Amino acid sequence: MPTASVVNPVDPAPGRRGRIAVMLPVLSLLLLAAHFLRFGNPGLCLAAASLAALAVTRRAWVRVALATALAAGLPIWVGAWTDVLTLRMATGLPWLRMSLILAAVAGLNVVSLVWLLRGGGRGVFRRGQDEAWTGGAFVLTAVLLGATREAVRFPILLVDRFFPGWGWLEILALAIYAAWVGERMSDPGRSPAIRSRVWALFSLVFFLQLGLGLVGIGELLMTGALHLPVPAVIVAGPIYRGGGYFMPILFAVTLVLVGPAWCSHLCYIGAWDDAASRFRRWPGALPAWARHGRWLTLAAVAPAALLLRLLGVSTGAAAALGGAFGIAGVGIMATASRRLGLMAHCTAFCPIGALSNLLGKVAPFRLRIHADCSRCGACTRACRYGALEGPDIERGRPGFTCTLCGDCLASCRQRSIAYRFPGLPAEAARRLFLVLVVSLHAVFLGVARV
């Protein structure tokens, strides 16, 4: 009896026509690279050429990245065609041949873009089709970093500081990293481990840059006044200095986009508390009184910073007090968090954690527990923020200390916990949240320096 051939529906090989057609966007990007090189932008040239090389991976998110790059390239070609035509006609030089060449290049760009967006492109870029949405993380990261690079007066990207003009290579690398992280976090079962690792990586890069900057490599430090890497300084620093609102504004923007996820994905100190809490397999519980601790620190930090300013206390003395506050927080991690298996620093001491949970409610994302929940308690054992105690489960939503980390989704065998966003189904809401938080993580990795 003949046996049917087995075809892999996830990663079938493209036909010969598909392999030939993929050269259209590759050629279009190489032409863009040549254009950038001709106009003295080698960094952008190499970035465009490197992006073209990604086509060999045939990953679904790469199709999104290529299409976005070609869409951005179209006005570049139109502008070049207009400039050449205007200049040559004004100076009496021959213009027809050059005009036709640029029109043909722009036309190839359009054909390549259409092919990517229609069935032909989808048929070739099939790998990881279920994670094609991570192309959104690539695009958002590139757009945010590119806009920041153009808007800031000083070289905010490290590559630009050491190799002026080559920052687009760093932007490309961080955008690829964002898509890579998004792919690996797309599976709720793997997401908790990946989140902890990339969060730890962010903290490592942040403090490694700080350390190397302090020992003499000044390019690794952000231009401006140095401030302590203590979360409370986000509030206390501007009050004491009477200015310097970059970090409060950045913090507020993240609250609007992803709510309290600042505390589970983006805080450079929170990763330490996460690592400390995992010395114990299952989290314990904080005493009821301890949950009010961070409100007390918040009530103390802001007035104390104002008082130091009014009394004219020196910057050195103020920094010493801020450092002592930070050391106390580390001590809580090393003792209470490690012993309880719970992020005691973030949930009972950090004033920024309190603000994140309170003001983060402006973001539309929520976690909700379905009515079919069996009350098995698996999510309680997974939550390091103490946000899924019995009363929380009965109410059908996590408690106030929830940071939208999503670790509980992996623990729930019945899939009774899901992200919510107005107008979107649960899976789409989770994907949108991941695109935003992963992109912010990659952007912060590139620009967050003291």
Q: Which residues contact 119 (CB under 8 A, 6 or more apart)?
A: none
> CA-to-CA distance for 283 and 295, rounded, in angstroms?
22
Q: How confident is the model at residue 20 (pLDDT cuts 50, 70, 90)?
A: confident
Residue 136, pLDDT > 80, answer yes
SS3 breakdown of the chain: % helix, strand, coil, rounded to 5? 70, 5, 30
User: What pLDDT is stored for residue 94 in this prediction?
Assistant: 85
Range name among 234-238, 274-278, 335-339 with the lowest pLDDT average: 234-238
Greater confidence (134 vs 223) lies with 134
Q: Mean per-residue pLDDT for 173-196?
A: 95
> CA-to-CA distance for 265 and 60, rounded, in angstroms?
25
β-bridge mates for residue 420, sequence order: 366
At 37, list the tokens: 């090189």
| Average pLDDT over all residues of the chain | 89
Mutual angle of helices 96-117 and 23-38, in 10-degree steps: 140
Greater confidence (434 vs 247) lies with 434
Residue pLDDT, tens place only, 36-87? 999 889 999 999 999 999 999 999 999 999 999 999 999 999 998 888 888 8
User: What pLDDT is stored for residue 383 in this prediction?
Assistant: 94
User: What pLDDT is stored for residue 3 in this prediction?
Assistant: 41
**CB count in 10 Å sphere of residue 214:** 13
Tell me, what DSSP letter sits at residue 186? S
Residue 91, pLDDT > 70, answer yes
β-bridge mates for residue 296, sequence order: none
Residue 2, pLDDT > 70, answer no
Range name among 17-26, 194-203, 306-315 with the lowest pLDDT average: 17-26
> CA-to-CA distance for 212 and 221, rounded, in angstroms?
9
Is 169 in a helix, a strand, or coil? helix
Residue 96, pLDDT > 90, answer no
Residue pLDDT, tens place only, 316-325? 899 899 999 9
Range ranked top by mean pLDDT from 18-27, 147-156, 300-309:
300-309
State how far Cα 361 lies from the chain centre: 20
Rounded to 5°, the CA angle 394-397-403 comes to: 135
Q: Mean per-residue pLDDT for 297-325?
A: 92
Query: Is 324 exposed, middle or buried (CB count within 10 Å of its CB: 0-12, 13-18, 19+)?
Result: exposed
Q: Which residues contact 304 (CB under 8 A, 6 or more apart)?
A: 236, 321
Residue pLDDT, tens place only, 400-421? 999 999 999 999 988 999 999 9
Q: How confident is the model at residue 7 (pLDDT cuts 50, 70, 90)?
A: very low
Residue matched to tokens 């989808």: 122
State how far Cα 110 lies from the chain centre: 30
Greater confidence (225 vs 302) lies with 302
Is 4 in a helix, a strand, or coil? coil
Residue 1, pLDDT > 70, answer no
Say what percent of the chain tops pLDDT 70. 94
Q: How confident is the model at residue 17 (pLDDT cuts 50, 70, 90)?
A: low
Residue matched to tokens 């045939």: 58
The DSSP code sequence of 335-395 is: IIIHHHTS-HHHHHT-HHHHHHHHHGGGSS-EEEE-TT-----HHHHH-TTS---HHHHHH
Residue 147, pLDDT > 60, answer yes
Residue 370, pLDDT > 50, answer yes
Q: Which residues contact 395 (CB under 8 A, 6 or more apart)?
A: none
Q: Are 379 and 329 in contact, with CB atoms under 8 Å apart?
A: no
Q: Are 95 and 89 in contact, with CB atoms under 8 Å apart?
A: yes
At 298, list the tokens: 């918040």
Greater confidence (210 vs 362) lies with 362
Q: Mean per-residue pLDDT for 200-214?
A: 88
> CA-to-CA distance for 107 and 294, rounded, in angstroms?
60
Q: How confident is the model at residue 8 (pLDDT cuts 50, 70, 90)?
A: very low
User: What pLDDT is stored for residue 4 in this prediction?
Assistant: 42
The DSSP code sequence of 70-131 is: HHHHHHHHHHHHHHHHHHHHHHT---HHHHHHHHHHHHHHHHHHHHHHSHHHHHH--BTGGG
User: What pLDDT is stored for residue 45 in this prediction?
Assistant: 95
Q: How confident is the model at residue 225 (pLDDT cuts 50, 70, 90)?
A: low
Q: How confident is the model at residue 369 (pLDDT cuts 50, 70, 90)?
A: very high
Q: Mean per-residue pLDDT for 236-252?
A: 86
User: What pLDDT is stored for residue 132 in this prediction?
Assistant: 92
Q: Mean per-residue pLDDT for 250-274?
A: 94
C-alpha atoms less than 13 angstroms from C-alpha of 214 in its C-beta half-sphere = 12
User: What pLDDT is stored for residue 120 in this prediction?
Assistant: 77
> CA-to-CA distance for 78 and 81, rounded, in angstroms?
5
β-bridge mates for residue 390, sequence order: none
